[in-house]
A = this chain, B = another copy of it.
Amino acid sequence: MLKPTSSSDALPPLVVGVDVGGSKIASALVDANGHISARVRLPTDVSSPEATLDSIAAAVRQSLSAAGQDDQLVKSIGLGIPGLVDAERGIGLASVNLGWREVAVCAGLQARLGLPCAIENDVRAAALGEARFGAGRGLDSLVFLTIGTGIAAAVILAGKLYPGAHGLAGEIGHAVLDRDGPPCKCGGSGCFEALASGPAIAARHAHKMRQAGQSHLPGNPAQSLESLTARDVFRLAEQGDPLAQDTVCEAAEIIAQAVQLIALAFDPPVIVLGGGVAQAGSQLINPLRSVLDRLAKENWVFASVYSPDLLQLSRLGEDIGILGAAALAIPMP
């Protein structure tokens, strides 16, 4: 359970970074260089908000006790939470995954642990993590675009999360691209999320396979089309399946439109791609870059904000949740 890391330029731990998910809580100590130690992973108790806070506190305590004498150096806790957050008041406003509505997270953890706590939505925390420790290191602005179950962006300007008037800046996943497109979870139709999120890519490919008379995955009669994932589609494309390559191209066209839009709206120095679909790595970013290159060749205004390295893959890998949460609590250098 514990997997301490060490490095020559590791500093004394400063904060506990906690990545709170609907099924597991990942916690670790993090120093100002982003070095991680004392990793802990516990199941999330979602039976009640108090029980969830208890399991978060248990994970933090385990990380602290794994730190040994260093635990006295830990000054605060950062938490990334799936859902809407009032960061200023330390409140979890709404989380479907945790079953939360208006939960006083920071007060509850301060009472349990005696440490101050900062919370943020997990995508926004991840953006801050990339700015601090990842693909945006050394830059004071970036846009983090996450493509997974949903599509959302978070915006860092002048080293800080840019919230917008309602804390929803960057929610371009629910902008309508194709009014005649498929229905979206938000109630609308043809939003970016309905067209190119992980589930949308899988649904797009399953539809195409059914039209081609296929009822299960090539080489895997046990897997029906109902359980197809975006990961399967990228794997098939990599193996040379032409239908899957076609689906990847379609998804790349749509995600490229989202990237172009972010580039023109915010003109950021870098756009960092994260989330489950981005784990396809070069399988996603190569077709994406070739669409973007084409758009920049056609369109001189886009060419003025675009360069081949504008789009970067997240560099924090599976640690993005912990490092993003930690970035919330580590004071700016």
Contacts from A to B (Cβ < 8 Å)? 141, 153, 157, 162-177, 179, 184, 186-189, 191, 253, 257, 260-262, 264-269, 295, 298-302, 304-305
Contacts and interface: CB of A to CB of B under 8 A. Distances in A.
B261 A188 contact: no
Nearest to A141: B165
A264 B304 contact: no
A305 B165 contact: yes
Contacts of A261: 172, 175, 261, 265
Contact of A264 (B167, B175, B298): B175
Nearest to A302: B174
B267 A299 contact: no
Given A188-B302, A265-B266, 11 more contacts: A163-B267, A164-B266, A168-B304, A169-B265, A169-B267, A170-B267, A171-B301, A171-B305, A176-B295, A177-B177, A186-B299
Given A174-B264, A264-B171, A265-B261, A164 B305 contact: yes
Given A165-B141, A257-B176, A299 B191 contact: yes
Interface centre among A164, A253, A269 (most CB of B within 10 A): A164
Nearest to A143: B265
A268 B164 contact: yes
6 contacts: A153-B265, A157-B162, A163-B267, A165-B267, A170-B264, A174-B302
Contacts of A179: 253
Contacts of A153: 265
B187 A299 contact: yes
A201 B189 CA distance: 25
Contacts of A262: 265
Contacts of A295: 176, 188
A253 B172 CA distance: 18
A186 B266 contact: no
A269 B165 contact: yes
A124 to B, nearest CB: 12
A109 B172 CA distance: 43
Given A261-B261, A261-B265, A299 B165 contact: no
